[in-house]
Chain A
Amino acid sequence: MSDAPWQPGASLDVIKQSAALRACIRDYMQQHTVLEVVTPALSSAGSTDPNIHSFRAGNYYLHTSPEFPMKRLLAAYACDIYQIATVFRDGESGRNHNAEFSLLEWYRVGSDHLKLIDDVLALLQRVAQQFNRRCPAPNIIRYTEIVATLCEKSFQDVCVADVKKVFLHHNRSYPDAIGNDLDAALDLLIDEFVVAEFEPDQITVMLDYPASQASLARVSVNARQIPIAERFEIYWGRLELANGFHELSDSAEQRARFEKDQRIRRARGQQSVPMDEHLLQALASGLPDCAGVALGLDRLLMVLSNQQSIDQVLAFSTERA
Chain B
Amino acid sequence: MANYNTNEFKGGLKIMLDGDPHTIVENEFVKPGKGQAFTRTKVRNLKTGRTVERTFKSGESVEGADVMDTEMQYLYSDGEMWHFMDPKSYEQLAADKTAIGDTHLWLIEEAMCEVTLFNGQPLAVSPPNFVEMAIKETDPGVRGDTATGGTKPAYMDTGAVVKVPLFIEEGEVIKIDTRTGEYVSRVKS
User: Chain A interface (Cβ within 8 Å of chain B)?
Assistant: 49, 51-52, 91-97, 172-175, 177-178, 181, 183-184, 187-188, 190-192, 213, 215, 233, 240, 243, 294, 296
In the A-B complex, the 4 residue pairs with the closest CB atoms: A94-B29, A184-B36, A187-B35, A177-B57
Q: Which of B12-67 contact A (CB under 8 A)?
A: 28-38, 52-58, 60
Rounded to whole Å, the gap between the CB of B26 and the closest CB of chain A is 11
Whether A91 touches B7, Cβ cut-off 8 Å, given contacts A183-B36, A191-B38, is yes
Q: From B31, B35, B56, give the contact of A97 (CB < 8 A).
A: B31
A94 & B33 in contact (Cβ 8 Å cutoff): no
A95 & B36 in contact (Cβ 8 Å cutoff): no
Q: From B7, B30, B36, give the contact of A181 (CB < 8 A).
A: B36
- Kindly list chain A residues whose C-beta atoms are within 8 Å of the C-beta of B31: 51, 92, 94, 97
User: Chain B interface (Cβ within 8 Å of chain A)?
Assistant: 7, 28-38, 52-58, 60
Between-chain CB contacts (< 8 Å), 5 pairs = A92-B31, A94-B30, A97-B31, A243-B33, A294-B33
A240 & B33 in contact (Cβ 8 Å cutoff): yes
- Kindly list chain B residues whose C-beta atoms are within 8 Å of the C-beta of A177: 56-57, 60
Other than A94-B30, A188-B36, A296-B33, give 8 A-B pairs with Cβ distance below 8 A.
Answer: A95-B28, A173-B55, A181-B36, A187-B38, A188-B55, A190-B32, A191-B30, A240-B33
Q: From A52, A175, A243, A294, give the contact of B55 (CB < 8 A).
A: A175
A243 & B34 in contact (Cβ 8 Å cutoff): yes
A187 & B36 in contact (Cβ 8 Å cutoff): yes
- Kindly list chain B residues whose C-beta atoms are within 8 Å of the C-beta of A187: 32, 35-36, 38
B54 & A51 in contact (Cβ 8 Å cutoff): no
- Kindly list chain B residues whose C-beta atoms are within 8 Å of the C-beta of A183: 35-36
A94 & B28 in contact (Cβ 8 Å cutoff): yes
B28 & A92 in contact (Cβ 8 Å cutoff): no
In the complex, residue of chain B having the shortest beta-carbon distance to the beta carbon of A242: B33
- Kindly list chain B residues whose C-beta atoms are within 8 Å of the C-beta of A294: 33
Rounded to whole Å, the gap between the CB of B17 and the closest CB of chain A is 10
A173 & B52 in contact (Cβ 8 Å cutoff): yes
B56 & A240 in contact (Cβ 8 Å cutoff): no
A93 & B29 in contact (Cβ 8 Å cutoff): yes
In the complex, residue of chain A having the shortest beta-carbon distance to the beta carbon of B36: A184
Rounded to whole Å, the gap between the CB of B45 and the closest CB of chain A is 14
In the complex, residue of chain B having the shortest beta-carbon distance to the beta carbon of A179: B57
Q: From B28, B33, B35, B54, give the contact of A173 (CB < 8 A).
A: B54
Rounded to whole Å, the gap between the CB of B121 and the closest CB of chain A is 28
With A and B bound together, what is the CA distance between A94 and B26 in angstroms?
12
- Kindly list chain B residues whose C-beta atoms are within 8 Å of the C-beta of A97: 29, 31
In the complex, residue of chain A having the shortest beta-carbon distance to the beta carbon of B29: A94
With A and B bound together, what is the CA distance between A213 and B33 in angstroms?
11
- Kindly list chain B residues whose C-beta atoms are within 8 Å of the C-beta of A178: 36, 57
With A and B bound together, what is the CA distance between A174 and B57 in angstroms?
9
